Structure 1
Amino acid sequence: MQKAFGRDEFDSAYDEIQAAARTASCAPQQIYSFSMECGHPNPWYHAVAVSVEGMQDQEYDQFFGAR
């Protein structure tokens, strides 16, 4: 994320994730939650956990299709 958005630009990254979720889903309302896991010294293993409530399974598959 830092490579794509810059240092400490989490809000920009989250905005992009939300935009992608809205594109993948036709749900009228979605609830997002983000959590960073970076409590360890190795930056290669930092992660952002994303939860989107209001998506159907097929929409989730489309949203995370690049896995």
Structure 2
Amino acid sequence: MTMVWSWQDDAVYLCLRDIDRAGLMWEWLRRDPNYIAWHARASRITGGRIVDPRPWGLHFR
């Protein structure tokens, strides 16, 4: 059975209530079609090696 989520349903967002800034950014970015396309291209080109995330505004310690 497939569940259909409504963006207007508050329950859908409960998991985001306590999310930190990095987690919120990831939730936003992973839905961006341009990022998804970039990641697919980068994965093919790099063979899975680490690529620079700074063009996407990501910063890791």
Please confirm whether the aligned pair reaches a TM-score higher than 0.5, indicating the same fold.
no
Query: Would you tell me which structure has more strand in proportion to its own residues?
Result: 1
Query: Would you tell me which structure has more helix in proportion to its own residues?
Result: 2
User: Scaled by the length of structure 2, what TM-score is found?
Assistant: 0.30
Q: Which has the higher contact order (CA 8 A, sep 6+)?
A: 1
